[in-house]
Amino acid sequence: MHTPAPIGRTPAAADAPPAVVHLLGGTRRSIRLLGLIGMALACAPLVVRSEFHLTFMTLALYSTLLGSAWNILGGFGGQYSFGHAVFFGLGAYTGAILQVHAGLPAWTGLLAGSAIGGAAGAALGAISFRYGLRGSYFALVTLAMAEVFRIIANSVPFTGAGVGMMIELRSGPADLQFESRQGYYYFALALALVALAVSSWVRHSRFGAALAAVRDNEDAARALGIDATRIKVAATALSGSLMAAGGVFYLQYFHYIDPMLVFGPAVSVEALLGPIVGGLGTVLGPLIGAFALALVSQVATQALGQAPALSMALYGVILIVMVTFLPRGLGRLRLRRGRHA
Amino acid sequence: MLELKDVSKRFGGLAAVDSVSLVLQEGRIGALIGPNGAGKTTCFGLMSGFIRPDQGQVVFCGRDITGWPAHQVSREGLVRTFQIVQPFTGQSVLENIAVGAQRRRSRGAAIAFAAEVAARVGLGEELAKPAESLPIAGRKRLELARALAAEPRLLLLDEVLAGLNPAEIAEVVPLIESIRAGGTTVLMIEHVMQAVMSLADEVWVLAHGSLIAAGTPEAVTRDPAVIEAYLGPGAAARLAQPT
Ligand SMILES: Nc1ncnc2c1ncn2[C@@H]1O[C@H](COP(=O)(O)OP(=O)(O)OP(=O)(O)O)[C@@H](O)[C@H]1O
Ligand SMILES: [Mg+2]
């Protein structure tokens, strides 16, 4: 540590204490890890031949997207939303309306849906955080918002009201519909990787450091010049935008949406459960959580059959177990030792 | 540098700060002293934008900053610390300080600068530790380091010496002097009179929300009104009598 800096290297890097080197290297390590995971998942269809298993992985990746979206606000930002379905539904309905009423291709729905999800996030964040809502009050406002939009979608004509909306079956990458299971798998993988990359950026960027500061001590953050409201609004927008992309994926995958399916509480629960199980405020937590949950519900379905409210009841039990015994999530089991090293 | 003009703040029926006016010149170390509950921390809150005054003006570097939000006051160069330390729990010492440093820096530069500041306040060996694992003296240093990393023009220190033992105090006192020597104006709230005497150019004494004395440390500690505020009515007279 006290040897002179070798020529050609910046003194700061050469003399830097290990903790500095470790923290500065975070971005690079994260990109490398995500690259490896991405490559492994991209190669998976070469090994995983059965449609059943590929569908399982597709839905787990879709769940990773939802979890990552929620985790940006809930995990990195510490603002727990119980109504992320509001963004999901807005994305899904935007996609459906553009395709059904305007005849536009699905990719425009993905872009417009994400944009509207982001705008809705900014608006909801601005309303909530300007007035200092926190904790359970914020959670309740989000929950109420999702319900309000569910009721609106149930009532107005251009959403098909309670009947829901069906998109035309058309195959082709521009329509974001695929004949093969592989097509949907790669669509879900691409979206999940974008969400993970955004999470990694949040984890290691200046923005993310400000967001974590607000989460961990808002007064201290403000004293250091951080505009807490603006940071939280931005995180809600980012989170809402990714969540809306999840809604568009749902639409393209199932071709049919109705108010309960996309604005209902089940979506909100799916979004928050993955990160809580996998590790709140970590990049990989939502991925680990999504695959773990997909596995558990698969096993449960095979053991107990398809009971209507089974998954919700199961999720409830998992949530209680996690919060009681592993509040830091599965992902932290392994990472904990290295975290502060 | 900093001027309070007739500033007041009430909490319900209690006048926590009552028509306080003071002027702190650039490049000096000022001290705000007074018995418990006198309104010192409330004064810091009023200066730094955490509390909005009911009345009066706060002027910083010629600008009326009354009613500005706290983050904006901080960006202007007026940075406070907290009497009850407020670490970012769950984050390392280095991460904590880097938040202070990142206002005008990229994340990478903020981390590098944070390590320098940590070394300066004596936290150079604790960079990787979680903030909450530090003993009280370490947390006070962290509070100071984080504010220092924001490179304030005026630093408000709220009892950074409280809870420190004499050896630790002897380390931090020269550090505060060096902060001033580096061009930062300092206003400190302090109960440790030995530190006030050795550091402060000017002292304001607050009791029950009102300023009761102002001047050099020597003059203020001889002021009968100050002695009575601390020790009760009649105390000055009793002390003056040889026993
Ligand atoms: N947010 C608040 N709401 C109501 N009363 C408050 C609030 N903050 C402070 N007070 C009251 O205002 C008075 C001044 O408090 P303040 O914290 O400013 O005193 P202080 O001089 O910093 O005291 P200490 O030396 O104990 O830190 C006290 O009586 C306190 O109880
Ligand atoms: Mg105080």
Q: Transcribe chain B into DSSP letters.
A: -EEEEEEEEEETTEEEEEEEEEEE-TT-EEEEE-STTSSHHHHHHHHHTSS--SEEEEEETTEE-TT--HHHHHHTTEEE--SS----TTSBHHHHHHHHHGGGS-HHHHHHHHHHHHHHHT-TT-TTSBGGGS-HHHHHHHHHHHHHHT--SEEEEESTTTT--HHHHHHHHHHHHHHHHTT-EEEEE-S-HHHHHHH-SEEEEEETTEEEEEE-HHHHHH-HHHHHHHH-TTHHHHHHS--
Residue A110's CB: how many other CB atoms inside 10 A? Answer: 24
Q: Domain locations in chain A?
A: 19-265
Nearest residue (by CA) to ligand 1, atom 2, is: B11
State percent of chain A over pLDDT 70: 92
- Tell me what the mean pLDDT of segment A309-313 comes to: 74
pLDDT at position A10: 43
Contact B106 A206 (CB under 8 A): yes
Least reliable range by pLDDT among A111-115, A325-329, B40-44, B161-165: A325-329
The CA distance from A38 to A188, in Å, is 12
HSE-CB for B132 with a 13 A CA cutoff: 6
pLDDT at position A336: 45
Contact B88 A213 (CB under 8 A): yes
pLDDT at position A334: 52
pLDDT at position B223: 85
| pLDDT at B144 exceeding the cut of 90 | yes
Higher-pLDDT residue of A47, B154: B154
| pLDDT at B173 exceeding the cut of 80 | yes
Residue in B89, B115, B150 closest to A17 by CB: B115
Length of chain A: 341
Nearest residue (by CA) to ligand 1, atom 1, is: B11
pLDDT at position A247: 97
pLDDT at position A7: 42
pLDDT at position A332: 67
- Give B161 Cα–ligand 2 centroid separation in angstroms: 12
Contact A216 B128 (CB under 8 A): no
Name the residue type at position B175: L
pLDDT at position A48: 83
A223: its two tokens = 């004293």
Higher-pLDDT residue of B243, A253: A253
> Cα A273 to the chain's mean position, in Å?
11
pLDDT at position B57: 95
Torsion of CA A135, A136, A141, A145, to 10 degrees: 110
| pLDDT at A68 exceeding the cut of 90 | yes
- Chain A nearest-CA residue for B156: A223
For the ranges A124-133, A158-167, B150-159, the one whose mean pLDDT is highest? B150-159
Average pLDDT along chain A:
88
Least reliable range by pLDDT among A1-15, A109-123, A292-306, A312-326: A1-15
Q: Burial of B36 by CB count in 10 Å (0-12 exposed, 13-18 middle, 19+ buried)?
A: exposed
Contact A340 B92 (CB under 8 A): yes
- Give B131 Cα–ligand 1 centroid separation in angstroms: 26
Higher-pLDDT residue of B82, A102: B82
- Tell me what the mean pLDDT of segment B6-34 comes to: 94
| Closest to B23 in 3D by CA, of B51, B55, B54, B47 | B47
- Tell me what the mean pLDDT of segment B167-186 comes to: 94
State percent of chain B over pLDDT 90: 84
A304: its two tokens = 């107990």
| pLDDT at A185 exceeding the cut of 60 | yes
Nearest residue (by CA) to ligand 1, atom 5, is: B11
pLDDT at position A333: 65
Question: B205 CB under 6 A from ligand 1?
Answer: no
CA end-to-end distance (rounded Å), chain A: 17
Q: Which of A224, A335, A339, A340 to mutate to test the interface with B (most CBs of B within 10 A)?
A: A224
Contact A212 B92 (CB under 8 A): no
Higher-pLDDT residue of B176, B231: B176
Sign of CA pseudo-dihedral B220, B224, B227, B229 = negative
The CA distance from A279 to A281, in Å, is 6
For the ranges A11-25, A97-111, A300-314, the one whose mean pLDDT is highest? A97-111
Residue pair A245/A66 in contact (Cβ under 8 Å)? The answer is no
| pLDDT at A51 exceeding the cut of 90 | no
Question: B33 CB under 6 A from ligand 1?
Answer: no
Question: B37 CB under 6 A from ligand 1?
Answer: yes
Where b means 16+ CB within 10 Å and e means fewer, A204-225 reads bebbbbbbbbbbbbbebbbbbb
Question: B34 CB under 6 A from ligand 1?
Answer: yes
- Give B231 Cα–ligand 1 centroid separation in angstroms: 19
The CA distance from A110 to A191, in Å, is 11
| Closest to B5 in 3D by CA, of B45, B51, B65, B49 | B65
pLDDT at position B189: 96
Contacts of B216 (CB under 8 A, 6+ apart): B201, B202, B203
The CA distance from B103 to A280, in Å, is 26
| pLDDT at A124 exceeding the cut of 50 | yes
Strand partners, A157: none
pLDDT at position B152: 96
Least reliable range by pLDDT among A150-159, A242-251, B16-25: A150-159
What does residue A156 show for φ and ψ, rounded to 5 degrees? Answer: -85, 155
- Chain A nearest-CA residue for B102: A206
Residues in B touching A210 (Cβ below 8 Å): 99, 102
Contact A209 B107 (CB under 8 A): yes
Strand partners, B80: B156
pLDDT at position A176: 76
The CA distance from A250 to A262, in Å, is 9
Lateral strand order in the sheet of B2-11? B14-24, B2-11, B55-60, B63-64
Nearest residue (by CA) to ligand 1, atom 6, is: B11
| pLDDT at A4 exceeding the cut of 60 | no
Q: Helix crossing, A51-74 with A181-204: angle to 10°?
A: 20
Residue pair B107/A207 in contact (Cβ under 8 Å)? The answer is no
HSE-CB for B20 with a 13 A CA cutoff: 37
pLDDT at position B166: 92
- Tell me what the mean pLDDT of segment A7-33 comes to: 76
Ligand 1 atom closest to residue B44's alpha carbon, by position in its atom list: 18
Contact A217 B107 (CB under 8 A): no
What is the ipTM score, two decimals?
A: 0.91
Tens digits of residue pLDDT in A201-243 = 999 999 999 999 999 999 999 999 999 999 999 999 999 999 9
- Tell me what the mean pLDDT of segment B71-94 comes to: 96
Question: B209 CB under 6 A from ligand 1?
Answer: no
Nearest ligand (C-alpha, residue B34): 1
Contact B50 A219 (CB under 8 A): yes
Ligand 1 atom closest to residue B40's alpha carbon, by position in its atom list: 21
HEC sequence for chain A? CCCCCCCCCCHHHHHCCHHHHHHHCHHHHHHHHHHHHHHHHHHHHHHCCCHHHHHHHHHHHHHHHHHHHHHHHHCCCCCCCCCCHHHHHHHHHHHHHHHHCCCCCHHHHHHHHHHHHHHHHHHHHHHHHHCCCCHHHHHHHHHHHHHHHHHHHHHCHHHCHHHCEECCCCCEHHHCECCCHHHHHHHHHHHHHHHHHHHHHHHHCHHHHHHHHHHHCHHHHHHCCCCHHHHHHHHHHHHHHHHHHHHHHHHHHHCEECHHHHHCHHHHHHHHHHHHHHCCCCCCHHHHHHHHHHHHHHHHHHHHCCCCCHHHHHHHHHHHHHHHHCCCCHHHHHHHHHHCC
Q: Helix crossing, A26-47 with A181-204: angle to 10°?
A: 170
**A23 vs A132, A213, A317, B12, B148, CA distance in Å?**
32, 16, 37, 47, 20
The verdict on B230 touching A (C-beta cutoff 8 Å) is no
Tens digits of residue pLDDT in A324-340 = 887 777 876 654 444 43
The CA distance from A108 to A55, in Å, is 25
